[in-house]
Amino acid sequence: MNLVRMNLYRFVRTKAVYVIMLVTVLSIGLVVLDQKSMSQEAWEAEMELLQQEGISTEDTGMTPGINFGMTPIRTVTEMSESYIGSGMLLVLIGIFAALFSNAERTGGYLKNLNSCSQNRSWIFMAKAVPVVVFAGLNIVLIPVMSAVFGLDTSDAFSKEAACYLLIQWLLHAAFGMFVLTIMEMSRSLVVGMLIGIFSGMGIGVLLLSFLEGFFNGNGFFTSHMLVHMVRAIVVENVTSSLLAGVLTGIMGFLLYLVLGTYVFKKRDMC
């Protein structure tokens, strides 16, 4: 418990926490403002174009205002799905995990702690707590700030929306543990951040999907990857995907926790 408290204290004192959360807030605000930026004239021009293509304006359900882009965002839940599905939150959590892990070594925290600790495995395990907390704070921050910026909250309190956020919290926490494990393997902030960024953007899933297609793998591996699950699960299918999402999140978290702990114990901490 002392290790957990020390890590939470460091978490509160880490400036990167507040900078990254500010990025989340600003990016949500920019998306909402962009959605609301369509003027009456632009909306009428869009409707005229749709009518020329034989599409009824009633069928589109579009109204002036929050309809900019291919997928209009009107509600808090739609904003949550769009933001999380973009991989932006995965990238931010990967950056945080890399910075938090690197700060321990550059600040001499681990060297001092290791000199008086009898079980080094708990040192790495305790780092999981700030990652879980940070992932949870950002997951909650998305719908809260979407409501603050004026999106419709009518679907924000449904059971499906709550289950969706819970699953995404587990998946994002597991992704944070993945980056922590990479940091223990590489001991390089640059490597950890690059892998966190590119993995969060879905580059790894894309490459593996290409290989699966080449060898007729039919998505056997990619369908179980954390990044793929983050994008595949939406509110509409959350009930049918609940078990798969929870198991993937928990198993991924435990897998990287065990692997990271093993690497941490075996490698020279100096």
Structure tokens, 238? 């959350």
Model confidence at 68: pLDDT above 50: no
Sequence-separated (6 or more) residues with CB below 8 Å from residue 53? none
Residue 148 shares a structural domain with residue 177: yes
Residue 172 shares a structural domain with residue 67: no
Kindly report the number of other CB atoms within 10 A of residue 190's CB atom.
10
pLDDT, one tens digit per residue, over 161-191 is: 999 999 999 999 999 999 999 998 888 899 9
| Confidence category of residue 44, pLDDT binned at 50, 70, 90 | low
**% of the chain at pLDDT higher than 90:** 29
What is the rounded average pLDDT of the residues 219-246? 82
Model confidence at 64: pLDDT above 50: no
Residue, of 69 and 216, whose pLDDT is higher: 216
What is the rounded average pLDDT of the residues 97-120? 68
Model confidence at 69: pLDDT above 50: no
Residue 66 shares a structural domain with residue 164: no
Structure tokens, 20? 């990254």
Pick from 168, 180, 198, 187: which is nearest to 130 by CA? 180
Q: What is the mean pLDDT of the chain?
A: 80
Residue, of 9 and 162, whose pLDDT is higher: 162
Residue 160 shares a structural domain with residue 185: yes
Cα separation, 40 vs 224, whole angstroms: 44
Question: Among 72, 97, 123, which residue terminates a domain?
Answer: 72
Residue 6 shares a structural domain with residue 93: yes
- By the 10 Å C-beta count (0-12 exposed, 13-18 middle, 19+ buried), 41 is classed as exposed
Prediction pTM value: 0.80
Q: Which domain holds residue 64?
A: 38-72
Model confidence at 28: pLDDT above 70: yes
